[in-house]
Structure 1
Amino acid sequence: MKIIVPMAGRGSRLRPHTLTVPKPLIPIAGKPIVQRLVEDIAKVLEEKVDEVAFVIGKDFGEEVEKNLTKIAENLGAKASIYIQDQPLGTGHAIMCAKDSLEGPAVIAYADTLFKADFTLDTSSDGVIWVKQVENPSAYGVVKLNDKNQITDLVEKPKDKVSDLAVIGIYYFKDVNILKEQLQEVLDENLLRGGEYQINDGIEKMKQKNYIFTPGKVDEWMDCGNKNVTVETNGRVLNFLQEENSEKLVSASVELKNSKIIEPCYIGENVVLENSTVGPHVSIGNNSEVKNSTIENSLIQENSLVQNAKLNNAMIGNHAKFDGKFTEISIGDYSVLE
C-alpha cells in the first residue's frame, strides 16, 4: 500500500506562519500536520504502508525533504519526493508522482486531519472519504445510489443533493487506472479554473464502470487558517488524552510556580514560570512562558512569551511576545515587546 500526499501549496491563508514553514509541517499537538495525517491513515489501513510519496513545491528546500523522509521511515516505509513546479491543480500534482502510481494507494491532501474507525471496503475500485456537514453548498459532495455507491461528485451544489462532503482523502485499488485517466485529462487539456482536477480523472473512471463507495469519518479537522488550526490543535489534544496514546508533557518541563491544565502538549526543555497554561495549549521545544495565562493556543519552538494573557493565539518559532494582546498571530522570528 502506498500513500500519496500532494502538498506543494505553501498555505497562504495561514500566513505569517507559512512564510517560513510549509503548512503541512506546522505542528499540531507536537507533530507536523502531515505526520499526523499519514499516521492516522496507516492506522485505518489493514495493509502495511510500503511507500509514502510527497509532492512538494520547488522552494521547500532540503530540510523539508529530510523531515518528510523521516516521517515515512518512521512508518517503516520508503519516502519518495516529487516536485510540482507550477500550481496547476490536484490532478497535475498527483501526476507529478506518476512513477509511484502503481498498485493500491491512498491519496490524501495534507491540510486535513480526521478520526475514523471503520474497515476499508477493498471490494470496490475506489473509496472517497466523506463527512456529513450542515452546509453542503460550501463543499464538494458525493451523491449515492441505493447500493451505497457514488454516482455523482458535485462541487458546491446550490441545491441540496447530498450532505456528504469530500474531505480530500481517496483510496484506489489500483491507482494506475487513475493515472491513465488523469493522463487523458492532461492530454485533452481539460482545465477548470486554470487547473487539472482529480475529480475529472475519477469521473472518467466512473464512466468506464469503476465502482466508488464512501468511507465515512467521525471527525474532520481543518488546518486552513489560524483560527481553525488552533481549534484543531485543541480537538487533537482531547483525542490524545482520551486514547492515552502519546506522552503529551515532557519530563524535562521546568515548572516554577506554574500550573498545567490538561490536555496540553509541552515539548522538551520548556520553562513555565509564574504561569497557568491550558487547557488546549501546545508549546514547542525550548520555549519559555513567564508571568502569563495561556489557553487554546499554539506556540512553536524556541520562543519567549511573557506578561501575556492569550486565548486563540498562534506564535511561531524563535518569536518573542511581551504585551497585552489576546488573540494574536505572529510568525517566526517576530518580536513584540
Structure 2
Amino acid sequence: MKIIVPMAGRGSRLRPHSLTVPKPLIPVAGQPIVHRLVKDIVKVLDQPVTEIAFVLGDPAWFGEDVVSHLTELAESLGAKASIYRQDQPLGTGHAIMCAEPSLSGPAVIAYADTLIRASFNLDPEADAVIWTKEVENPEAYGVVKLNKDQNIIELVEKPETFVSNQAVIGIYYFKEVAELKAELQTVLDNNIIHGGEYQINDGIKAMMSKGKVFKTGTVDEWMDCGNKNITLETNAKMLDFIKADGIEQMISDSVILENSNIIEPCIIGENVKLKNTTIGPHVSIGNNCIIENCTIQNSLIQNHSTIANAQLNEAMIGNHVKYNGDFTKISIGDYTTME
C-alpha cells in the first residue's frame, strides 16, 4: 500500500501563520497537521504501507528542512519517502500526476489540510473508495450521488438541489491507482480544465464511466484546518481524542510549574515554564515557551514564544512571538513582538 499526499498549497486562509510555515506543517495538538494525518491513515489501514509520496511546492517554500522532516516521518512508519514537486498551482489532478512514478498498485490519496477519525474498512468488491462525512449543509460541499446498490455514480459540486448529504473529504483509495493515472493523463493531454485547474474528479468520473465500482467510506470525525477559528476547534477536538485514547504523553516531563495550574486536556511541549498561570482546557503549547501571569484557554501557541500578562481565549500564536497585552481572541504570526 502507498499513500500519496499532495501538499503544495500555500494555505492563504490560515495567514499569518502560513506566511512562514507551510500550512500542512503547522502544529495542531502538538504535531504538524500532515504528521497526524499520515499517522492516522497508517494506523487504520489493514495492510503495511511501503511508500509515502509527498507532492510539495516551490523549493524556496518547501525547502530541504521540510524534505528532511517528511522523510523522517515516512521512515518512522516503516515506509520509503518519495518527494515530488508541483511547480505550478494547477489543481488536484495535476498535483497527483506530479507523483506519476509512484502511481501504481493499491494507494490512498489524502490531501493534507484535514484531520480525521475513522475506521478504514476497504470493500474487497470496490475498485475505489471515496471517504465522506455526513453534513447538514450539503449545498456547501462536493457530494456523492449513490445508486440503489450504494455505489457512487456521480460527484456533484455544491448541488443546488438535494443529491445526498455525504460530503467528499479529500481521502480516496484505489485498488490500482494506475487506472486513475491513465485517466488523469487523458485529462492533461486533452486540457480538460475546471476553474482554471486540472481536477481529480475528472479522472474519477472517467473511471466510473468505464464501469469501475466506487464505494463510500465514512469517517467519524472530519476536522478542517482552513482558518484560525476552525483550526482552534480542530485542536480542541484532537486534544479530547488524545486524552481519551490515553496512549500519547500530553505534558512533557520538563515542564516547570511555578504557582500554576493545568486544566486538561492540554498538550505542553518540552522546556516550557509556567509562572502564576492557568492553562486550559484545550490548549496546545510548543517547545521552549515562557508564560507568566496568564490565563489561557482554547488556544494554540507554537515554539519559542514568551507570553505575559494575558487573558487569552481562542488565540493562535506562532513561533518566536513576544506578547504582552490585553486582547483575548488574537492571531499572531511568527517573530512578532507586542509589548
Query: Normalising to structure 2: TM-score of the pair?
Result: 0.99
The letter of the residue matching 1:197 is: Q
Q: How does 1:15-164 map to 2 (within 5 A)?
A: 15-58=15-58, 59=60, 60-164=62-166
Alignment-derived partner of residue 331 in structure 1: 333
8 Å Cα contact 2:277/2:293 also seen in 1:
yes
The letter of the residue matching 1:235 is: K
Alignment deviations for residues 118-175 of structure 1 (CA, whole Å, 9 cap, x no partner):
5221331000000000000110000111211101100000111110000000000000
Three-state SS of the structure 1 residue aligned to 2:17 is: coil
Match of 1:277 among 276, 279, 282: 279
1:300 and 1:265 mapped to 2: Cα distance? 11
8 Å Cα contact 1:139/1:165 also seen in 2:
yes
2:39 is equivalent to residue 9 of structure 1: no
> Structure 1 residues 117-126 or 32-41, which shifts more?
117-126
Alignment deviations for residues 197-231 of structure 1 (CA, whole Å, 9 cap, x no partner):
00000000001111000000010000000000011
Three-state SS of the structure 1 residue aligned to 2:236 is: helix
Q: CA deviation at 1:251?
A: 0.6
1:188 and 1:299 mapped to 2: Cα distance? 47
8 Å Cα contact 1:44/1:120 also seen in 2:
no
Three-state SS of the structure 2 residue aligned to 1:218 is: strand
Three-state SS of the structure 2 residue aligned to 1:107 is: strand
1:19 and 1:123 mapped to 2: Cα distance? 44
Equivalent residue pairs, number:
337
8 Å Cα contact 1:222/1:228 also seen in 2:
yes
Alignment-derived partner of residue 227 in structure 1: 229
Three-state SS of the structure 2 residue aligned to 1:152 is: strand
* 5+ residue gaps, structure 2: none
1:148 and 1:44 mapped to 2: Cα distance? 23
8 Å Cα contact 1:128/1:215 also seen in 2:
yes
Alignment deviations for residues 24-51 of structure 1 (CA, whole Å, 9 cap, x no partner):
0000111110010011111121010111
1:123 and 1:237 mapped to 2: Cα distance? 36
Three-state SS of the structure 2 residue aligned to 1:217 is: strand
Alignment-derived partner of residue 316 in structure 1: 318
Match of 1:258 among 239, 257, 260: 260
Q: CA deviation at 1:266?
A: 0.3
Q: How does 1:226-245 map to 2 (within 5 A)?
A: 226-245=228-247
Alignment deviations for residues 272-312 of structure 1 (CA, whole Å, 9 cap, x no partner):
00000000000000011100000000000000011000011
2:173 and 2:282 mapped to 1: Cα distance? 32
> Structure 1 residues 139-148 or 174-183, which shifts more?
139-148
8 Å Cα contact 1:126/1:212 also seen in 2:
yes
1:143 and 1:84 mapped to 2: Cα distance? 31
Alignment-derived partner of residue 286 in structure 1: 288
Three-state SS of the structure 2 residue aligned to 1:93 is: helix
The letter of the residue matching 1:201 is: G
> Percent of counterpart pairs with the same letter?
67
Alignment-derived partner of residue 301 in structure 1: 303
* 5+ residue gaps, structure 1: none
Name the Cα RMSD after superposition: 0.7
Query: Normalising to structure 1: TM-score of the pair?
Result: 0.99
2:276 and 2:175 mapped to 1: Cα distance? 55
Alignment-derived partner of residue 267 in structure 1: 269
8 Å Cα contact 2:277/2:295 also seen in 1:
yes
Alignment deviations for residues 70-128 of structure 1 (CA, whole Å, 9 cap, x no partner):
11111010001100000000000000000000100000000011101252213310000
8 Å Cα contact 2:45/2:120 also seen in 1:
no
1:23 and 1:228 mapped to 2: Cα distance? 13
1:47 and 1:270 mapped to 2: Cα distance? 39
**1:118–1:63 Cα change, 3 Å:** closer
